[in-house]
């Protein structure tokens, strides 16, 4: 019997038990749909994180306090307080491959404006931040190096903070209280939106000197973003920064470094590794439901073989070979899975669309995930169809014909 | 074309033992038996005497425990399952007591089935199936489903299916067991016509009436042949049918018009 006739035959037989076929297919539909949707969630997260790292600016190095060694050991990164604003300025001044640096230190603080209160992250940085970290001003202006030098109490607000405490009022020139100290709002940052789980617009930027001396009384930094002139100069910039900091911190052996330099590309790779793992985890869970669907297929195919014992006996009596019967039942189970798979792919695409729309989460349906789940549904049909089909083809003709 | 004296089936020392674990049933006990081309044989005997077992072996559905079986000159007792499937497809037509038509499948598609496994193209299949259905008088019922047909009509569809690959032998295990006498007679008429046209036909029955329509009667008892005789006064199904028609016309003149 040729392939198309077998497909037609299986459609007829599946049509004979519509409800049963539909319910069986539902298992595969749910499995495939969740594979497609879960992978789209993972891929969406990956795209978002990649984009947010790229949004930070280009050709960046990140200098962090403490040492990060592969395989543990050393001081924990960020746990020591050796990095200072002077380090930042010296890097800017003395490293030829460097365009500029943006220091960063942040703490959460209570904000008050009029009778509105909120709690948000206050970030201390320098006038170079907008340029280095690729951040634009939506309204007003950024603070100047003079304001930074004079430890002025000026603040640039993130869009969410404006939304939370000013509503529709123009915030420029207004006063706000940060931990009960008056600041003047001079600008508003352009909204960047959600980045993974954090809202990057929910923060206030103040001069790092004001932050350290007037607000919190500290003298260290959490990190320094270093912008390098070009991608080719990344390695030499890393070396220059390293040497400079070692000299300033009186470190002779690079093994004793009290800082870590990371390239942006490295971070990108690490993040994409993490999101890939996340995608695989989600996909794996979904794949298990596809397997459960497959077990449903096997179950129904076994029932079908039993019900059609006489038919199998008759077919064998009039000349069907073992392989003919095997093919007939195998194709029936594959048709069931492929139909379920196609419907599942469509519902998966629909689901990821709905998740994007109502779940406030980026999703991205990839062709690869569609092909993958389609391939898997054929494989599930084959794998779970083999046993019942083999059982059918192995039936004894005489006994099958006598089966009641 | 057909040689009246050439044995088409030759069986020697045929034994079939069903081993169900606890007990062994000797369904056939060293049967020697041969059928020549163009015979019309009735196999008779009480229930459990081994008739069906014999038919299953003759039809290559089951393998004997011991003994040899030559079908149309070839030894089939040692053949593989797939080779036997091909023999069944090409050389043997089966008619069962319970018809064994595929439900939800039209008469035409049922008749096409053996040709599907013979890998005959669809167009030719349909043509030949229609011809076979016409030959059993069902040209008007080709697109009916089995449950829309009477028992006699269903059995005629089954006969058309048995004929469609032009086999040499037709094996019928109690073909009239589920039919009334009139339908039975119609089936026998078809068998007699087919036999006249050169087919070898073996019918299992326990009704002497039916056996009387055949040329030779073989009686089994406890897995052995106890009688093997030529039938003297063969009943002509056509004549019997006419008789039945006359009677029923007499009783119910409004019918059969
Ligand atoms: N599959 C089987 N397993 C065990 N015993 C069987 C089987 N088929 C038939 N028999 C036994 O073999 C004997 C002959 O059976 P069968 O050929 O069906 O008789 P008949 O058709 O003449 O009534 C009986 O005793 C029956 O019980
Ligand atoms: Mg019997």
Q: Using CA atoms, how far apart are residues A3 and B225, in angstroms rounded to an integer?
A: 47
Question: Could you tell me the sign of the dihedral formed by the alpha carbons of B144, B145, B151, B155, in that order?
Answer: positive
Domain check: are A164 and A92 in the same one? yes
* A265 pLDDT more than 50: yes
Instruction: Verify that A322 and A195 share a domain, yes or no.
Output: no
Q: Are residues A176 and A131 in the same domain?
A: yes
- Asked if A230 and A375 sit in the same domain, the reply is no
Among residues A257, A288, A317, the one where a domain terminates is A257
| Residue of minimum CA distance from atom 2 in ligand 1 | B18
pLDDT the model gives residue A272: 80
- The answer to whether position A67 is within a domain reads no
Question: Which residue, A106, A145, A147, A111, is CA-closest to A127?
Answer: A145
The last residue of a domain, from among A257, A279, A305: A257
For B130-160, letters b (16+ CB in 10 Å) and e give bebbebbebeebbebbbeebebbbbbbbbbb
Q: CA dihedral in degrees (A207, A208, A210, A215; nearest 10)?
A: 120
Residues A96 and A165 in one domain: yes
Q: What pLDDT digit, counting tens, does each position of B31-42 carry?
A: 999 999 999 999
Spell out which residues of chain A touch residue B117, defining contact as CB-CB under 8 Å: 1, 315, 318-321, 324
- Give yes or no for residue B25 CB within 6 A of ligand 1: yes
Q: Whose CA is nearest to atom 7 of ligand 1?
A: B18
Q: Do A8 and A93 sit in the same domain of this protein?
A: no
Average pLDDT of chain A? 88
Q: In Å, how far is B82's CA from the nearest CA of chain A?
A: 5
Is residue A349 pLDDT above 90, yes or no? yes
Is the separation of the CB atoms in A325 and A389 below 8 Å? Answer: yes
**C-alpha distance from B181 to closest chain A C-alpha (Å):** 25
Q: Are residues A230 and A370 both part of a single domain? A: no
Q: How close, in Å, is residue B239 to chain A by CA atoms?
A: 33
Smallest Cα–Cα separation from A276: which of A49, A55, A52? A49
Flag whether pLDDT at B250 surpasses 80: no
A47-57: per-residue pLDDT in tens? 877 777 777 77
Residue A17: is its pLDDT beyond 50? yes
> Are A241 and A337 in the same domain?
no
Give how many domains chain A has, as a whole number.
2
At B137-171, the pLDDT tens digits run 999 999 999 999 999 999 999 999 999 999 999 99
Contact B82 A322 (CB under 8 A): yes
Q: How many other C-beta atoms are found inside a 10 Å radius of the C-beta of residue A62? A: 17
Q: Which domain holds residue A169?
A: 81-257
Which residue shows structure tokens 């020139």? Answer: A173
SS (H, E, C) chain A: CCHHHHHHHHHHHHHHCHHHHHHHHHHHHHHHHHHHHHHHHHHHHHHHHHHHHHHCCCCEEEEEECCCCCCCCCCCCCCCCCCCHHHHHHHHHHCCCEEEEEEEEEEEEEEEECCEEEEEEEEEECCCHHHHCCCCEEEECCCCHHHHHCCCCEEEECHHHHHHHCCCCCCCCCEEEECCEEEEEEEEECCCCEECCEECCCEEEEEHHHHHHHHHCCCCCCEEEEEECCHHHHHHHHHHHHHHHHHHCCCCCHHHCCEEEEEHHHHHHHHHHHHHHHHHHHHHHHHHHHHHHHHHHHHHHHHHHHHCHHHHHHHHHCCCCHHHHHHHHHHHHHHHHHHHHHHHHHHHHHHHHHHHHHCCCCCCCCHHHHHHHHHHHHHHHHHHHHHHHHHHHCCCHHHHHHCC
The CATH class for the domain spanning B7-97+167-251 reads alpha beta
CB-based contacts of A351, cutoff 8 Å, min separation 6? A33, A34, A36, A37
Interchain CB contacts (distance < 8 Å): A and B: 57
| A229 and A299 both lie in a single domain | no
Whether the CB of B49 sits within 6 Å of ligand 1: yes
Pick the residue of A9, A311, A317, A400 with the most B CBs within 10 A to test the interface with B by mutation: A317
Write down the pLDDT at residue B257: 45
Band (A364; pLDDT cuts 50, 70, 90): confident
A186 domain residue, yes or no = yes
Q: Do B117 and A5 touch (CB under 8 A)?
A: no
Q: Residues of chain A with pLDDT > 70: what percent? A: 95
Ligand 1 neighbourhood includes B205 CB (under 6 angstroms): no
> Which residues are bridge partners to A61 per DSSP?
A226, A263
Quick one: A114 and A206 in the same domain?
A: yes
Contact B114 A318 (CB under 8 A): yes
Is B130 a residue whose pLDDT tops 50?
A: yes
Q: Is residue A65 part of a domain?
A: no
With 60 as the cut, is the pLDDT of residue A218 above it? yes
Residue A119 lies in a domain: yes
CB-ligand 1 contact for B47 (6 Å cutoff): yes
Distance (Å) from CA B19 to ligand 1 centroid: 11
Q: Among B82, B89, B122, select the one facing A318 at the smallest CB separation.
A: B89
Q: For residue B201, give the H/E element and its range.
A: strand B200-204
Is pLDDT of A357 > 90? no
**Mean pLDDT (whole number) for A7-17:** 88
Give the largest Cα separation in chain A, rounded: 101
Residue B52 beta carbon below 6 angstroms from any ligand 1 atom: yes
Query: Is residue A60, in this structure, part of any structural domain at all?
Result: no
Instruction: For residue A207, count other CB atoms closer than 10 A to its CB.
Output: 27
pLDDT tier at A196, thresholds 50, 70, 90: low
The protein residue whose alpha carbon is closest to atom 17 in ligand 1 is: B50
Residue where a domain stops, chosen among A257, A280, A315: A257
Rounded-to-integer distance, Cα A332 and Cα A110, Å: 66
Q: What is the rounded average pLDDT for all residues in chain B?
A: 92
Find the range with the poorest average confidence among A14-28, A259-273, B35-49.
A259-273
Q: Are residues A91 and A171 both part of a single domain?
A: yes
Contact A319 B118 (CB under 8 A): yes
Q: Is B29 in the pocket of ligand 1 (CB under 6 A)?
A: no
Of B62, B102, B117, the CB nearest to A320: B117
Reduced to 3 states (helix: H, G, I; strand: E, B; else coil), residue B50 is: coil
A87 and A212 inside one domain: yes
Q: What is the pLDDT of residue A71?
A: 45
Tell me the pLDDT band of A363, cut-offs 50, 70 and 90.
Answer: confident
Convert the pLDDT of each residue in A58-112 to its tens digit. Answer: 789 999 888 765 444 444 544 578 899 999 999 999 999 999 999 999 999 999 9
pLDDT, residue A290, reads 87
Domain-located, residue A262: no
Closest CA to A332 of A371, A384, A293: A384
Residue B24 beta carbon below 6 angstroms from any ligand 1 atom: no
Q: Do B117 and A317 touch (CB under 8 A)?
A: no
pLDDT of the residue at A322: 95
């Amino acid at each position: 019997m040729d392939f198309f006739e077998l497909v037609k035959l299986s459609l007829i037989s599946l049509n004979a038990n519509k409800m049963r076929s539909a319910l069986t297919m539902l298992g595969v539909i749910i499995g495939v749909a969740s594979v497609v949707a879960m992978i789209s969630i993972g891929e969406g997260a990956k795209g978002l994180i990649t984009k947010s790292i790229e949004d930070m600016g280009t050709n960046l190095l990140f200098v962090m306090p403490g040492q990060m060694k592969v395989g543990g050991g050393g001081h924990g990164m960020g746990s020591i307080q050796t990095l200072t604003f002077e380090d930042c300025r010296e890097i800017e001044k003395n490293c030829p491959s460097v365009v500029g640096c943006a220091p960063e230190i942040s703490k959460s603080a209570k904000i008050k404006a009029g009778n509105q209160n909120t709690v948000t992250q206050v970030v201390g940085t320098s006038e170079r931040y907008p340029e280095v970290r690729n951040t634009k001003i939506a309204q007003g202006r950024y603070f100047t190096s003079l304001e930074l030098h004079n430890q002025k109490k000026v603040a640039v607000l993130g869009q969410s903070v404006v939304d939370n405490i000013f509503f529709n009022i123009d915030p420029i020139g207004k006063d706000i209280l940060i931990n009960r100290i008056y600041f003047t709002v001079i600008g508003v940052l352009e909204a960047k939106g959600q980045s993974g789980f954090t809202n990057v617009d929910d923060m206030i930027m103040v001069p790092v000197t004001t932050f350290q001396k007037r607000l919190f009384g500290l003298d260290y930094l959490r990190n320094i973003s270093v912008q390098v002139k070009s991608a080719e100069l990344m390695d030499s910039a890393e070396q220059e920064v390293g040497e400079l900091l070692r000299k300033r911190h009186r470190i002779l052996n690079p093994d004793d470094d009290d800082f870590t330099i990371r390239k942006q590309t490295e971070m990108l790779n690490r993040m994409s590794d993490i999101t890939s793992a996340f995608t695989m985890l989600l996909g794996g869970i979904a794949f298990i439901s596809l397997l459960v669907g497959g077990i449903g297929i096997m179950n129904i195919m076994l029932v079908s073989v039993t019900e059609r014992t006489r038919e199998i006996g008759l077919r064998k009596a009039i000349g069907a070979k073992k392989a003919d019967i095997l093919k007939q039942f195998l194709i029936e189970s594959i048709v069931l899975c492929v139909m379920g798979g196609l419907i599942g792919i469509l519902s998966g695409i629909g689901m990821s669309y709905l998740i994007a729309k109502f779940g406030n989460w980026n999703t991205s349906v990839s062709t690869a995930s569609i092909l993958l789940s389609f391939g898997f549904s054929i494989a599930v049909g084959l794998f779970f169809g083999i046993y019942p089909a083999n059982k059918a083809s192995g039936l004894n003709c005489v006994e099958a014909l006598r089966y009641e | 074309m057909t040689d009246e004296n050439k044995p088409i089936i030759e069986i020697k020392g045929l034994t079939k033992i069903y081993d169900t674990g606890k007990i062994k049933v000797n369904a056939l006990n060293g049967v020697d038996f041969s059928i020549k081309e163009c015979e019309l044989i009735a196999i008779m005997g009480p229930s459990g005497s081994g008739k069906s077992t014999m038919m299953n072996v003759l039809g290559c559905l089951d393998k004997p425990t011991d003994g040899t079986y030559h079908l149309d000159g070839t030894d089939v007792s040692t053949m593989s399952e797939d080779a036997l499937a091909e023999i069944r497809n090409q050389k043997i037509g089966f008619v069962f007591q319970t018809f064994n038509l595929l439900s939800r499948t039209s008469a035409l598609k049922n008749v096409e089935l053996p040709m599907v496994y013979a890998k005959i193209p669809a167009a030719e299949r349909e043509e030949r199936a229609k011809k076979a259905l016409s030959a059993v008088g069902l040209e008007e019922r080709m697109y009916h489903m089995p449950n829309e047909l009477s028992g006699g009509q269903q059995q005629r569809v089954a006969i058309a299916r048995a004929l469609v690959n032009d086999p040499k032998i037709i094996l019928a295990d109690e073909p009239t067991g589920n039919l009334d006498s009139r339908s039975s007679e119609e089936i026998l008429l078809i068998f007699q016509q087919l036999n006249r046209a050169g087919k070898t036909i073996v019918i299992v029955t326990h009704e002497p009436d039916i056996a009387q329509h055949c040329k030779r009667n073989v009686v089994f008892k406890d897995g052995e042949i106890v009688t093997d005789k030529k039938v003297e006064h063969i009943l002509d199904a056509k004549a019997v049918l006419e008789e039945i028609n006359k009677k029923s016309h007499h009783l119910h003149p409004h019918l059969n018009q």
